[in-house]
Amino acid sequence: MVTYCTVADVSDFLRVPITATTTPNKAQVEKIILRKEQELDRRIGHHFGGVISSGKEIHDLPLLYSYGWGSPIFLKHRQIADLDATLGDKIEIWSGDSYVDHTLDTGVHNLEGEYGKMYFRGYIFTIMRKNRIRITYRYGDPTVPYDIQDTCIKLTAIDLINSSFRMDILPTGANGVDISASKSDWRADIENCIDNRQEIFFIP
């Protein structure tokens, strides 16, 4: 399901009808939107319009300790949803021969979801630290900002134009429109949005 923009948004932006029977059709444009959403997620490092799974993240247990909190793990994302094992969230700790599930053991871990930080208690003197923690969680902002919506629309529009869909009948006005100049302006807007929204990652 598309999240960042709809087929109707793209149709309005290009001023061309897109239905189940046009070329391109609604299903084709939805596929492009989904690809562009993934591209934005990858380049920005965050997700909007709901939560998605992080997949398994493996972390070393740092030789750090905050009194009353424990040893901090810095996750790859922020805005972490409350942990829910029924939705696929999982906290695993390496025991020496396998990962042991500690998802429901709230006495071991504490999550600061807003900042993407998790603390583990009781491991300050442990010897095993390499790849000790394996975490699966869900993250994302509940709403889609207007600039993200606009960027997804323009990414989709550029893909459609580059694929020559409907370009033989795309209205361009009495004096015509410089498509190359328009795409250049759209790309500048896209890069500006990504630069403004891009997450900052710290490499330990």
| Mean pLDDT value across residues 38-65 | 95
CB 199 within 8 A of CB 150: no
Does one domain contain both 44 and 87?
no
Six-digit token pair at 78?
């922020």
Per residue in 141-159, pLDDT (tens digit) is 999 999 999 999 999 999 9
Q: What is the pLDDT of residue 70?
A: 93
Within a domain: 71: yes
135 burial type by CB count under 10 A (0-12 exposed, 13-18 middle, 19+ buried): buried
Do residue 28 and residue 90 come from a single domain? no
Is the Cα dihedral 120, 121, 125, 128 positive or negative?
negative
62 with 132, same domain: the answer is yes
- Could you tell me if 151 and 75 lie in one domain? no
Domain that holds residue 78: 52-139
Q: 69 and 105: one domain?
A: yes
Q: Is the domain of 123 the same as that of 153?
A: no
Residue with tokens 């990652």: 201
Q: What integer is the mean pLDDT of 5-16?
A: 94
For 21, 29, 146, the CA distances from 34, given in Å and listed in that order, are 20, 9, 17
pLDDT tens figures, 91-132: 999 999 999 999 999 889 999 999 999 999 988 889 999 999
The highest-confidence range among 22-26, 62-66, 137-141, 160-164, by mean pLDDT, is: 137-141
Residues 25 and 41 grouped into a single domain: yes
% the chain with pLDDT above 90: 76
Q: Tokens for 52?
A: 């998605």
Alpha carbon separation from 182 to 110, 185, 199 (Å, rounded):
49, 5, 28
Tell me how far apart the alpha carbons of residues 35 and 138 are, in angstroms, rounded to a whole number.
Answer: 20
How many domains is the chain partitioned into structurally? 2
| Alpha-carbon gap, residue 31 to 27, rounded angstroms | 6
Contact (CB, 8 A) for 57 and 75 = yes
Residue 166 has pLDDT above 90, yes or no: no
Q: What is the pLDDT of residue 67?
A: 87
Model confidence at 162, pLDDT cuts 50, 70, 90, reads: confident
When pLDDT is cut at 50, 70 and 90, the band that residue 24 belongs to is confident
Q: What pTM was computed for the model?
A: 0.86
> Is there a single domain that holds both residue 135 and residue 56?
yes
Residue 200 predicted with pLDDT over 50: yes
Among 139, 164, 179, the domain boundary falls at: 139
Q: For residues 59 and 129, state if they share a domain.
A: yes
Q: What is the mean pLDDT of residues 42-65?
A: 95
Burial of 133 by CB count in 10 Å (0-12 exposed, 13-18 middle, 19+ buried)? buried
Which residues 6+ apart lie within 8 Å of 204 measured at CB? Answer: 60, 62, 74
Residue 1 lies in a domain: no
197 closest CA partner among 142, 138, 137, 145: 145
Mean pLDDT over 77-104 rounds to 95
> What number of CA atoms fall less than 13 Å from residue 159's CA on the CB side?
19
pLDDT score for 164: 63
